Every structure is written in structure tokens, then in C-alpha cells.
Amino acid sequence: ARGPNLDREIIDEALTINKDQYDQEVSPANRGNEEKFGKISPNPIPQHHGFRYVSSMPFMQEQRWLLDYGKYYEQERGIQLFQIWNRIVKLQIQMIQAKKDDNRKLFKDILKEVIRLKNKISPFISKDGVLFLLANAFDNVKNLGLEYLIREYDKQTLLTFMIEILNWVIDKVEDCYYYIDPQLHVYYDATNDSFIRDYAENTNWDFEKLGNPDSRFDLDCDPNQQLEISPDWGSKISLLSIGQERHFNFATKVAQPVDCFINEFFIKPDQSKGVMINDLVDTFTQYYQYHANKTLTYWRDRYGDSKHPNVKSSQTYNEQAINRLKKKGWNVINKVHRGMEPPQHDKYLLWANILKSNDPYYPSVIFNGQKCKFTLISMNNTKVTEDSTGKFKKDKSSERKESILPEEATHFGDAVDKRIWSKYGSLLTKHRTTFVEPRL
């Protein structure tokens, strides 16, 4: 009964809110003023006490409450909205490629099919008065121009383009290898607003500079604390996962020791203009150029110690990356996990105990939901299976499927595993943890 009265709710980037907290603290205030704007007023406003949620596409399972509002399409008219939408997105990718190839006939044929499918999902208001809309950059192509879409298609990774520009609907597999609770393990509000505000004023609101952020923009990055990076080297994609230990949990807002995953960088062969490893390292060093503590822990990828990335150089992936980091002014502390590859069964048990978040023997681990988007997509799309002996293992079949983009495969999860297993794997044997409670 306390608090202000609201006449309407309007939220931008709704996927970043804590929905339970919002429903308890904000939505109940959407009340009152019926005599001014409601049905009993002289001039009632149709959307009084309504709500409008605007957002980019959810990429976590727990953000899918946004998509639940669109279920009425199938319930009321049998329209499989999200399946048809993803078919449209795939066709739009083909349209862009046809335009790049100057294949006008193919472009027109695909466009006709897109129009046909869009007619099948024509928006309508539900019986409860809800209007759910899906749209992407193609719906604004008259203003943006097709050349803009082609430029972004060439500039961005395919998965980024599909999610951020075309609003691809992402699913999560059942029987997931990682049990990530967004309330306990994921945070979004970690921008250094005070610095950004001062920086904007000091640069006279230079939007070019503001559009190229660095680590000073990140509240969850302590410039005086050393960073930790773990790589995953491959022919289809190479990546770096960035972490840092802190004494504040940005997810639960509690002062406690916590291991944070604060950023991610990746590159594919078709994106690199020079040596792929150098380009990836340079992306990291440029972003953290103002980081005061230039000592970092490098969790070596053992496979990176044995692979030779090209004929000209006798250096391994790790040697090239470390030498490049040193050349850029960083002091590198090398560390490596036991064995050739962390055992998948033990990794599963370790993660299960860490993500329970209620065992004092295990660390608290959290992820920056904005900066580690592909890490979370990778982890949420990794399935757990059992081998012939009944031991858990990670289903890595997505790495071999051409239909799965490398960023969306298990590579990021592997990089995360290396750092967590190397630091905390001994806790399993120390505390003899062999049982994991069932997920209810």
C-alpha cells in the first residue's frame, strides 16, 4: 500500500531486470488515478495501467518470461510463432548472401517466401488484451538501408548478427551440463556510471570515444587487481575468457569473496587480417590498456602447448600468445591444470557443487551477463550425457556440427572449465564430494 501510484509501465531492455523483484516492488504500484485516466474518467485512456516491455532477444533460459507473452499465438490460433520466426531469420541471412552475390532472382524468390511466412505470423491481440510483436532490422530496412545490413553482416560474427540484429530465438538444451541460476550467478548492472559520466563531460560528449569503451567503463573490473585469462585454441575459433577475484558479489549484492567472469574475446580465421593469435591478444590488451596492474595469470591450454599454428613459426599457440602479451607490457604468470584434459565426470561434480552456492567449501562463481553472453550461451547449450560406466560427460557433438556456430558450441565452456578446474579441482578430493543432489 506504500509508494507512488503509476499509470503505466514502460521498460527498455527488459531482459536485464530481476523479474521477481520487479513484480514484487514495481508492478503493484501500477494503480490508481482511475477517475483521471481510467474507465470512470470523462476521457478514458485505452492503455491506462498497461505495460510495454521492449527488449533485445533473451539468451538465458530464465529471461524467457518475455517470450511467454507470445504463447497465445499457438494457444489461440495454432501458430508456431517462434519456429516460424527462426525460419524467417535463416531466410533473411540467405537474402543478404544473395544480395552480396548479386543473385537477383534468388533474392526475389527468398523475399517471397519471407513475406509468405510473415503473413502466417501476422500480429493480433490476445483474448486477454496482450499484443506480442517480434521484429528485427529488416522491418526498418527503409530507414537503415540494405547496405547497412550487409555491412553489419560482414563486420560482426554470424551469431552476434543473428541475435543482435535479426533477433534469433535461442533455446536451451535439456539435461544441461551446467546449472546456472541467473539470480545467483549472473549480473548485468556493472557499468561504471560515475566514470562514464565524467568521461563524457571531459570529452565534450565525443560519441566516437564513448562508443569505444575500455575496462574503465566496467565496475566489476578492479584496475589494481590482477586479471586471469584462460584460452581455448582451435582452427574454427580461438578465444579468451577473462576473470578476476573480487570481494563483492555483483549478483547477490553481498560483500564476500567471489570469482568473477568479467569478459570474453574471440576471433575466427575469416575475421583476422593478420596472425589470428596476435589479433586476439591485441584485442585484449587494447581493452585493458588502462588496467593499472599489468600482471596476469595465464591458465595454459595444454593442447595449446602441443599445436603449431603455422609452418613459419615453431612456437606453439601458448608461446605466441604469451610472447605477444609480454611485448604489450604485461607480466605473465603461467599456470596449468593437472593432466592433459580435466576429467569430464569430475568437472561436472565440481561445477554442480560450486553452482549449488550453499557449500562453504566451494567458491562463489558469477558471470557478467552483458560481457560474457557467448560464454553463457555456450554453457546453457552444453548437454550432459553418461558413458558406458555411468560417469557424466560433456556432449561436445556441437563442435563437429556445421549447423552450430563455433561461438555457440562448447568452446567457451571449455575455457571456463580450465580456470575453474585448475584452481578448485582439488576441493573434490579434499572434501570427498561424490554425490550431487538431484535437480528439482
Main-chain dihedrals φ then ψ at residue 206, nearest 5 degrees: -75, 105
Statement: residue 118 has pLDDT above 70:
yes
Tell me the residue type at 400: R
- How confident is the model over 100-117, as pLDDT tens digits? 999 999 999 999 999 999
Look at 115-119, 236-240, 394-398 and tell me which has the smallest mean pLDDT: 394-398
Partners of 218 in beta bridges:
191
Q: What is the CATH number of domain 182-430?
A: 3.30.420.280
Burial zone of 413 (CB within 10 Å; 0-12 exposed, 13-18 middle, 19+ buried): buried
Average pLDDT value for residue range 335-352: 79
Other CB atoms within a 10 A radius of the CB of residue 347 amount to 24
- The C-alpha cell of 78 is what? 495454432
Domain with CATH 3.30.420.280 in the chain: 182-430
pLDDT tens-place string over residues 16-36: 877 877 778 777 777 777 777
Which residues contact residue 399 at a Cβ distance below 8 angstroms, ignoring those fewer than 6 apart? 406, 409, 410, 411
Q: What are phi and psi of 201, to 5 degrees?
A: -70, -40
Out of 16-25, 134-143, 176-185, 431-440, least confident range: 431-440
Per residue in 412-422, pLDDT (tens digit) is 888 999 999 99
Identity of residue 144 = L
